[in-house]
Amino acid sequence: MAKVVTFGELMLRIQPADYYRFVQVDSMTTTFGGGEANVSVSLANYGNESYFVTKLPTHEIGQAAVNSLRKYGVHTEYIVRGGPRVGIYYNEKGASQRGSKCIYDRAGSSIQLAKPEEFNWKEILKDAKWFHITGITPALGPNMVTACIEACKTAREMGITTSCDLNYRGKLWTKDEARAAMTEICKYVDVCISNEDDANDVFGIKSEGTDTTKGELNNDGYVSVARQLKEKFGFKKVAITLRSSINANRNDWQALLYVDDKDYAFSKKYEMWIVDRVGGGDSFGGGLIHSQLKGMSTQDSINWAVAASCLKHSIIGDYNMVSEDEVNKLAGGDGSGRIQR
Amino acid sequence: MAKVVTFGELMLRIQPADYYRFVQVDSMTTTFGGGEANVSVSLANYGNESYFVTKLPTHEIGQAAVNSLRKYGVHTEYIVRGGPRVGIYYNEKGASQRGSKCIYDRAGSSIQLAKPEEFNWKEILKDAKWFHITGITPALGPNMVTACIEACKTAREMGITTSCDLNYRGKLWTKDEARAAMTEICKYVDVCISNEDDANDVFGIKSEGTDTTKGELNNDGYVSVARQLKEKFGFKKVAITLRSSINANRNDWQALLYVDDKDYAFSKKYEMWIVDRVGGGDSFGGGLIHSQLKGMSTQDSINWAVAASCLKHSIIGDYNMVSEDEVNKLAGGDGSGRIQR
Amino acid sequence: MAKVVTFGELMLRIQPADYYRFVQVDSMTTTFGGGEANVSVSLANYGNESYFVTKLPTHEIGQAAVNSLRKYGVHTEYIVRGGPRVGIYYNEKGASQRGSKCIYDRAGSSIQLAKPEEFNWKEILKDAKWFHITGITPALGPNMVTACIEACKTAREMGITTSCDLNYRGKLWTKDEARAAMTEICKYVDVCISNEDDANDVFGIKSEGTDTTKGELNNDGYVSVARQLKEKFGFKKVAITLRSSINANRNDWQALLYVDDKDYAFSKKYEMWIVDRVGGGDSFGGGLIHSQLKGMSTQDSINWAVAASCLKHSIIGDYNMVSEDEVNKLAGGDGSGRIQR
Amino acid sequence: MAKVVTFGELMLRIQPADYYRFVQVDSMTTTFGGGEANVSVSLANYGNESYFVTKLPTHEIGQAAVNSLRKYGVHTEYIVRGGPRVGIYYNEKGASQRGSKCIYDRAGSSIQLAKPEEFNWKEILKDAKWFHITGITPALGPNMVTACIEACKTAREMGITTSCDLNYRGKLWTKDEARAAMTEICKYVDVCISNEDDANDVFGIKSEGTDTTKGELNNDGYVSVARQLKEKFGFKKVAITLRSSINANRNDWQALLYVDDKDYAFSKKYEMWIVDRVGGGDSFGGGLIHSQLKGMSTQDSINWAVAASCLKHSIIGDYNMVSEDEVNKLAGGDGSGRIQR
Amino acid sequence: MAKVVTFGELMLRIQPADYYRFVQVDSMTTTFGGGEANVSVSLANYGNESYFVTKLPTHEIGQAAVNSLRKYGVHTEYIVRGGPRVGIYYNEKGASQRGSKCIYDRAGSSIQLAKPEEFNWKEILKDAKWFHITGITPALGPNMVTACIEACKTAREMGITTSCDLNYRGKLWTKDEARAAMTEICKYVDVCISNEDDANDVFGIKSEGTDTTKGELNNDGYVSVARQLKEKFGFKKVAITLRSSINANRNDWQALLYVDDKDYAFSKKYEMWIVDRVGGGDSFGGGLIHSQLKGMSTQDSINWAVAASCLKHSIIGDYNMVSEDEVNKLAGGDGSGRIQR
Amino acid sequence: MAKVVTFGELMLRIQPADYYRFVQVDSMTTTFGGGEANVSVSLANYGNESYFVTKLPTHEIGQAAVNSLRKYGVHTEYIVRGGPRVGIYYNEKGASQRGSKCIYDRAGSSIQLAKPEEFNWKEILKDAKWFHITGITPALGPNMVTACIEACKTAREMGITTSCDLNYRGKLWTKDEARAAMTEICKYVDVCISNEDDANDVFGIKSEGTDTTKGELNNDGYVSVARQLKEKFGFKKVAITLRSSINANRNDWQALLYVDDKDYAFSKKYEMWIVDRVGGGDSFGGGLIHSQLKGMSTQDSINWAVAASCLKHSIIGDYNMVSEDEVNKLAGGDGSGRIQR
- pLDDT 10s digits, A41-98: 999 999 999 999 999 999 999 999 999 999 999 999 999 999 999 999 999 999 999 9
Length of chain D: 341
Amino acid (1-letter code) at residue B30 = T
* Nearest residue in chain A measured CA to CA from C24: A26
Sequence-separated (6 or more) residues with CB below 8 Å from residue E339:
F94, F99, F100, F101, F102, F277, F278
**What digits encode the pLDDT tens for the residues C136-173?**
999 999 999 999 999 999 999 999 999 999 999 988 99
Residue B50 has pLDDT above 90, yes or no: yes
Domain A3-330 has CATH 3.10.20.30: no
Residue B203 has pLDDT above 50, yes or no: yes
Average per-residue pLDDT for chain E: 95
**What digits encode the pLDDT tens for the residues B68-84?**
999 999 999 999 999 99
Nearest Cα residue to B299 out of B228, B231, B239? B239
pLDDT computed for residue C213 by the predictor: 53
- DSSP-assigned letters across all residues of C218-243: -THHHHHHHHHHHHHH--SEEEEEEE
Contact F98 E341 (CB under 8 A): no
- Which whole-number Å values give the CA distances from D330 to B276, C125, D292, D306, in the listed order? 22, 63, 18, 10
How close C11 gets to chain F, by Cα (Å)?
Answer: 13
pLDDT computed for residue F1 by the predictor: 78
**What digits encode the pLDDT tens for the residues E20-33?**
999 999 999 999 99
Q: How far is CA B30 from the centre of its chain?
A: 20
Instruction: Tell me how far apart the alpha carbons of residues B256 and B239 are, in angstroms, rounded to a whole number.
Output: 6
Q: Collapse the DSSP code of B126 into the 3-class scheme (helix H, G, I; strand E, B; otherwise coil) and give the result.
A: coil
Start-to-end C-alpha separation, chain A:
30
Instruction: Tell me how far apart the alpha carbons of residues D51 and D40 are, in angstroms, rounded to a whole number.
Output: 7
CA angle E87, E89, E92 (to 5 degrees): 170
In angstroms, how far apart are the furthest CA atoms of chain E?
56
Chain E residues whose beta carbon lies within 8 Å of the beta carbon of residue C70 = 70-73
pLDDT computed for residue C148 by the predictor: 98
Instruction: Tell me how far apart the alpha carbons of residues F93 and F251 are, in angstroms, rounded to a whole number.
Output: 14
Please list the residues that pair with A140 across neighbouring strands. Answer: none
Residue B128 has pLDDT above 50, yes or no: yes
Sequence-separated (6 or more) residues with CB below 8 Å from residue E5:
E51, E52, E53, E78, E124, E125, E128, E130, E131, E132
Residue A341 has pLDDT above 90, yes or no: no
Tell me which H or E stretch contains D131: strand D130-134
For residues D33 and D278, the answer to whether their CB atoms sit within 8 Å is yes
**What digits encode the pLDDT tens for the residues D292-302?**
999 999 999 99
Length of chain E: 341
Q: What is the mean pLDDT of residues F55-77?
A: 98
Start-to-end C-alpha separation, chain F:
30
* Nearest residue in chain F measured CA to CA from C86: F105
pLDDT computed for residue E208 by the predictor: 61
Give the number of A-B residue pairs with CB atoms closer than 8 Å. 71
pLDDT computed for residue C206 by the predictor: 81
pLDDT computed for residue E206 by the predictor: 81
pLDDT computed for residue E340 by the predictor: 67
pLDDT computed for residue E210 by the predictor: 56
In this structure, the strands spanning D11-15 and D27-33 are antiparallel
Helix/strand/coil (H/E/C) assignment for every residue in chain E: CCEEEEECCCEEEEEECCCCCHHHCCEEEEEEECHHHHHHHHHHHCCCEEEEECEECCCHHHHHHHHHHHCCCCECCCCEECCCCCCEEEEECCECCECCEEEEECCCCHHHHCCHHHCCHHHHCCCCCEEEEECHHHHCCHHHHHHHHHHHHHHHHCCCEEEEECCCCCCCCCHHHHHHHHHHHHHHCCEEEEEHHHHHHHHCCCCCCCEHHHCECCCHHHHHHHHHHHHHHCCCEEEEEEEEEEECCEEEEEEEEEEECCEEEECCCEEEECCCCCCHHHHHHHHHHHHHHCCCCHHHHHHHHHHHHHHHCCCCCCCCCCCHHHHHHHHCCCCCCCCEC
Of the residues E13, E26, E96, E244, the best mutation for testing chain A's interface (the one with the most A CB atoms within 10 Å of its CB) is: E96
pLDDT computed for residue B337 by the predictor: 79
Q: What is the mean pLDDT of residues B50-56?
A: 98
Instruction: Tell me how far apart the alpha carbons of residues B70 and B44 are, in angstroms, rounded to a whole number.
Output: 10
Sign of torsion over alpha carbons C304, C308, C309, C313: positive
pLDDT computed for residue C219 by the predictor: 72
Instruction: Tell me how far apart the alpha carbons of residues B241 and B256 are, in angstroms, rounded to a whole number.
Output: 6
Split at pLDDT 50, 70, 90, the class of A212 is low
**What digits encode the pLDDT tens for the residues C66-105?**
999 999 999 999 999 999 999 999 999 999 999 999 999 9
Instruction: Tell me how far apart the alpha carbons of residues E195 and A122 are, in angstroms, rounded to a whole number.
Output: 61
The 8-class DSSP code of residue B86 comes to -
Instruction: Tell me how far apart the alpha carbons of residues C92 and C14 are, in angstroms, rounded to a whole number.
Output: 9
Instruction: Tell me how far apart the alpha carbons of residues C34 and C48 are, in angstroms, rounded to a whole number.
Output: 19
Instruction: Tell me how far apart the alpha carbons of residues B87 and B106 are, in angstroms, rounded to a whole number.
Output: 4
Instruction: Tell me how far apart the alpha carbons of residues F335 and D87 are, in angstroms, rounded to a whole number.
Output: 50
Q: How far is CA E72 from the centre of its chain?
A: 17
Nearest Cα residue to E141 out of E281, E8, E278? E8
pLDDT computed for residue E215 by the predictor: 46
Those residues of chain F whose CB sits closer than 8 Å to some CB in chain A are 18, 72, 270-275, 310-311, 313-317, 321-322, 326, 330, 334-341
**What digits encode the pLDDT tens for the residues C33-54?**
999 999 999 999 999 999 999 9
Those residues of chain A whose CB sits closer than 8 Å to some CB in chain B are 14, 17, 21-23, 25-31, 59-61, 63-64, 67, 84-86, 88, 90, 92, 101, 103, 105, 107-108
For residues F313 and F253, the answer to whether their CB atoms sit within 8 Å is yes
Start-to-end C-alpha separation, chain E:
30
Phi, psi values for residue C193, rounded to 5°? -115, 135
Q: Collapse the DSSP code of D33 into the 3-class scheme (helix H, G, I; strand E, B; otherwise coil) and give the result.
A: strand
Instruction: Tell me how far apart the alpha carbons of residues E187 and E177 are, in angstroms, rounded to a whole number.
Output: 16
pLDDT computed for residue D314 by the predictor: 98
Instruction: Tell me how far apart the alpha carbons of residues C288 and C299 are, in angstroms, rounded to a whole number.
Output: 11
Chain F residues whose beta carbon lies within 8 Å of the beta carbon of residue E336 = 99, 212-215, 245-247
- What does the CA dihedral F50, F52, F53, F58 come to, rounded to 10 degrees? -130
Average per-residue pLDDT for chain F: 95
pLDDT computed for residue B215 by the predictor: 46
Nearest Cα residue to C158 out of C127, C182, C204? C127
The 8-class DSSP code of residue F107 comes to T
* Nearest residue in chain D measured CA to CA from A72: D67
Contact D99 C317 (CB under 8 A): no
Instruction: Tell me how far apart the alpha carbons of residues A175 and A139 are, in angstroms, rounded to a whole number.
Output: 10
pLDDT computed for residue C337 by the predictor: 79
Chain E residues whose beta carbon lies within 8 Å of the beta carbon of residue A274 = 96
Q: Collapse the DSSP code of F298 into the 3-class scheme (helix H, G, I; strand E, B; otherwise coil) and give the result.
A: helix
pLDDT computed for residue C208 by the predictor: 61
pLDDT computed for residue A1 by the predictor: 78
The 8-class DSSP code of residue B233 comes to H
Residue C214 has pLDDT above 90, yes or no: no
Start-to-end C-alpha separation, chain D:
30
Helix/strand/coil (H/E/C) assignment for every residue in F216-227: ECCCHHHHHHHH
* Nearest residue in chain A measured CA to CA from F317: A20
**CATH of span B3-331:** 3.40.1190.20
Percent of chain E predicted with pLDDT > 90? 91
**What digits encode the pLDDT tens for the residues B228-269?**
999 999 999 999 999 999 999 999 999 999 999 999 999 999
Split at pLDDT 50, 70, 90, the class of B335 is confident
pLDDT computed for residue F216 by the predictor: 47
Residue A210 has pLDDT above 80, yes or no: no
Q: Collapse the DSSP code of C5 into the 3-class scheme (helix H, G, I; strand E, B; otherwise coil) and give the result.
A: strand
Burial class (CB in 10 A: 0-12, 13-18, 19+), F159: exposed
Instruction: Tell me how far apart the alpha carbons of residues E268 and E271 are, in angstroms, rounded to a whole number.
Output: 10
Sequence-separated (6 or more) residues with CB below 8 Å from residue F309:
F241, F253, F255, F280, F281, F283, F284, F287, F320
Those residues of chain F whose CB sits closer than 8 Å to some CB in chain C are 14, 17, 21-23, 25-31, 59-61, 63-64, 67, 84-86, 88, 90, 92, 101, 103, 105, 107-108
**What digits encode the pLDDT tens for the residues F72-124?**
999 999 999 999 999 999 999 999 999 999 999 999 999 999 999 999 999 99
Q: Collapse the DSSP code of A249 into the 3-class scheme (helix H, G, I; strand E, B; otherwise coil) and give the result.
A: coil
Specify the pTM.
0.96
pLDDT computed for residue B234 by the predictor: 94
Residues of chain D with pLDDT under 70: 208-218, 340-341
Instruction: Tell me how far apart the alpha carbons of residues A302 and A287 are, in angstroms, rounded to a whole number.
Output: 8
pLDDT computed for residue A234 by the predictor: 94
- Which whole-number Å values give the CA distances from F171 to A162, B230, E25, F140, in the listed order? 67, 68, 43, 10
pLDDT computed for residue F215 by the predictor: 46
Nearest by CB: F95 against E72, E273, E326: E273
Q: What is the mean pLDDT of residues F5-19?
A: 98
- DSSP-assigned letters across all residues of C265-330: EEPP-EEEE-S--TTHHHHHHHHHHHHHHTT--HHHHHHHHHHHHHHHTTSSSSS----HHHHHHH
